[in-house]
Amino acid sequence: MHLPKKRPGSLSESDVTPESVFMNRRRFLRNIGIGLAGAAAGGALLRAATGGFPSTRNPAFSGDGLELTPFELVTSYNNFYEFGTDKESPKTQANKGWKTEPWTLEVGGLVANPMKLDVNDLITRAGGIEERVYRFRCVEAWSMVVPWSGFELSKLIALVEPKAEAKFVKFVTFHDPKNVPGQRTNSIDWPYVEGLTIEEARNPLALLATGLYGKPMPNQNGAPIRLIVPWKYGFKSIKSIVRIEFVSKMPMNTWRDLQPREYGFYANVNPKVDHPRWSQGSERVLGAGVFDSRKETLMFNGYEAEVAHLYTDLDLRKWY
Amino acid sequence: MSDDATSRAGLRPATNAGGSETRPTTAASGDAGPKTTPQPLLARILRGKAWLWILIVALAAYPWTRLLSGDPFANANAAQYLLDHAGTVATAFLVAVLSLTPLRVLFPASGIVRALNRHRRLTGVTAFGFAVLHLGYFWLHVGGWSGVLMEIDKPFIWSGLAAWTVLAVLTITSLNAIVRAMGARGWKRLHRAAYLAAALALYHQAAQQKEGYSESLWFFAPLVLLEIARVIRQRRDAARSSAGL
C-alpha cells in the first residue's frame, strides 16, 4: 500500500477500513488504532487484510510448552522466491512497491458457490479470525513457533460447497512481474502453486492465515492471506494466495515440478525419510545460538494425533 | 599455490610444457632485478601483502560482527549463516587462485596480474583456511560428529569433504621444507589437484542450491572462460614457436 510520506501518522484513501469492519464500531476504532500505531512505526505494520483484528487466541491451540520465535526473526528469515532466492531479500524487496491492498481472492472449480471477493470480506464471511500457536518446520531443517492469526480453511470450504468430484484443492499465488523482482527471473515457474487433498484441507489444523503476532501479515510472510499446514514442510504453506480451485486430479505443486526426487506432493514432516541432500531427523530452531544443539524433529511436526489418520493407507516413504 | 611457493622455497619455478615460457622475466626474479618500467600505483599496492591480509581478516570477521550486533537475519539461523558465509568465501578464494595462472598467460605484461601472482600461496592457503572454518561451522550446525556421520553418505556432503581433503594436502605440501623436498616438478604436478578440488567444490556448491545453478555460474563461469582463453593462447603460441616465428 501507499504510505503517507508528508505527514507520518495520517492515513491515505486506500487505508479506509472496509465497510464490514466499519459496521462494527468498536472493532473499527481498534483497527484505526493499529493503523495509526503502524504508520507511526514507519508504516511497516500497516498492511492489507486488517479485517478481524485484534484476534483472540484459541485456547485449543495455545502452544503450551512451546517457545515463540521472536517476531524479528520470523519476519527477517523468509523463503519467498518472488522476492529473491536468498532468505534475506524478501524483507526489503517485498516492501517496496508491491501492493497487497486491495486484494481479491477467487475461489472456484468444482464448487456449488464460486466466489470472487475482497480478502477482508472473506474474513467477515468466515466469521472473523482467531490466533493459533503452531510449530512451523521448513524442509531445510529449520523450524520456528509462530502465533498466526486466521481462520480455518474448512470454513471457506463450507462457504463454497465443493461438489462430490472435488478430491483436491489447488492454491495459486499472484503473478505480478512488474512489481515483483523475482518473477522477472526464471528461478521457478511462476506463479507458485500448491495443493492438498480435500481431506487434508478439511482438517481443523489447516489455517488460512492473515496475520502473525496479532498484526496483519507482513508482506515477506505472505500478505495478505496464506495457507498454514503445520504438519507439512513449509513450502506447502503457500503465500499470498489469489486463487483457490477445487479439482478432481492431484494438482502439480511448484517444488515437486522442479525436483520430483526431492519434494513430493504430501511433504509431511517425517524425521524418518531424509531429503536426498540432508537428514530430516533433527532441526535448528530459529534463534538458537551457534553452539546450541539441535532439536529432534517430531513425526508430522508434533501433530500426529490430529493428522495421522489421514495417511493410514499411504506409504510415507514412497509418498514423501 | 604454485610458483610463489616454489620460489620462496628456494627453487626456480619449473617451466612446464606450453605455459610458462610465455611469461617474461618471472615475478620471482623481479624482486632482485632493477625495475625498467615504473609500476602503476595500484600494482604497487597489490604487490604488498597488507591489502590481502586486511581482506582476509575482514571477511572472517564480517559474519561475526553481524551476529554480535544482533542482526535478526544473521541470528535467525546463526550456525547456518556462518557455514554458508565461510563456504562462499572459500569457493571465491579457490576460484581466485586458479584464475591467476590463466591471467598470467593472457596478460603477461600487466603489472596488476604480476602483482596478484605474488600472492598465489596465500590465496590458496586462505581458501583452505575458510574451508576449515566452513567444516567447523558445519560440525556445530549438525551437532557434532554424530551429525556429520549422519550426513556423510550424501553426495552433497562427501563432495565437500573430498574437496576439503584435497585442499588440506595442498596446504600442507606448501610448507617451504616440503616444497623443497618434493622438488619443483613434483610439487607442481601434485598441485594440479587444485583443479580436482575446484570440480568437487563446484558440485558441492551447486548441490546446496534448491533451484537452478545461477550462483555456481557466477563463481565458476569466469574461471572456465579464462581457462579456455588460456588454452587457445597457449596453442597459438606453441604453433608459432614451432613454426620458428
* Buried/exposed code over A31-64 (b: 16+ C-beta within 10 A; e: otherwise): beebbeebbeeebebbbbbbbbbebeeeeebebe
Write down the pLDDT at residue B37: 63
Write down the pLDDT at residue B8: 57
- Mean pLDDT over A185-211 rounds to 96
Least confident of A19-33, A184-198, B126-140: A19-33
pLDDT at A47 over 80: no
As a whole number, the mean pLDDT across chain A is 88
CB contact under 8 A, A277 and B78: no
Write down the pLDDT at residue A195: 98
Least confident of A181-185, B17-21, B30-34, B199-203: B17-21
The CB density around residue A98, as the number of other CB atoms within 10 Å, is 20
pLDDT at A56 over 90: yes
Any idea which residue has 524479528 for its cell? A72
CB contact under 8 A, A290 and B156: no
Write down the pLDDT at residue A37: 44
Write down the pLDDT at residue B10: 54
User: Confidence band (pLDDT; 50, 70, 90) for A28?
Assistant: very low
Taking CB atoms and an 8 Å cutoff, what residues of chain B touch A278?
Answer: 151, 154, 156
* Buried/exposed code over B141-178 (b: 16+ C-beta within 10 A; e: otherwise): bbbeeebbebbeebebbebbbbbbebbeebbebbeeee
Residues linked to residue A243 through DSSP beta bridges, in sequence order: A106, A172
CB contact under 8 A, A73 and B76: yes
**Grid cell in block for residue A14:** 486506500
As a whole number, the mean pLDDT across chain B is 86
| Tens-digit pLDDT profile for residues A72-110 | 999 999 999 999 999 999 999 999 989 999 999 999 999
Least confident of A45-54, B12-21, B63-72, B140-149: B12-21
CB contact under 8 A, B73 and A276: no
Least confident of A7-21, A82-96, A244-258: A7-21
ipTM here = 0.81
pLDDT at A200 over 80: yes
- Mean pLDDT over B211-221 rounds to 83
| Tens-digit pLDDT profile for residues A136-159 | 999 999 999 999 999 999 999 999
Least confident of A51-55, A306-310, B93-97, B110-114: A51-55
Mutate to test the interface with A, among B69, B203, B210 (most CBs of A within 10 A): B210
| Tens-digit pLDDT profile for residues A268-292 | 999 999 999 899 999 999 999 999 9
Mutate to test the interface with B, among A77, A258, A273 (most CBs of B within 10 A): A77
More confident residue, A36 or B88: B88
Contact A141, A204 (CB under 8 A): no
Quote the CA–CA distance of B47 and A264 in Å, as a whole number: 54
User: Confidence band (pLDDT; 50, 70, 90) for B242?
Assistant: confident
Mutate to test the interface with A, among B68, B77, B83, B217 (most CBs of A within 10 A): B77
- If you measure CA to CA, which chain A residue comes closest to B141? A290
- Mean pLDDT over B78-100 rounds to 96
- If you measure CA to CA, which chain A residue comes closest to B152? A278
3-state secondary structure chain B: CCHHHHHHCCCCCCCCCCCHHHCCCCHHHHCCCCCCCCCCHHHHHHHCCHHHHHHHHHHHHHHHHHHHCCCHHHHHCHHHHHHHHHHHHHHHHHHHHHHHHHHHHHCCCCHHHHHHHCCHHHHHHHHHHHHHHHHHHHHHHHCCHHHHHHHCCCHHHHHHHHHHHHHHHHHHCCCHHHHHHHCHHHHHHHHCHHHHHHHHHHHHHHHCCCCCCHHHHHHHHHHHHHHHHHHHHHHHHHHHHHCCC
pTM score, whole prediction? 0.82
pLDDT at B214 over 90: no
Which A residues 148-207 touch B at CB under 8 Å? 186-188
Least confident of A185-189, A232-236, B108-112: A185-189
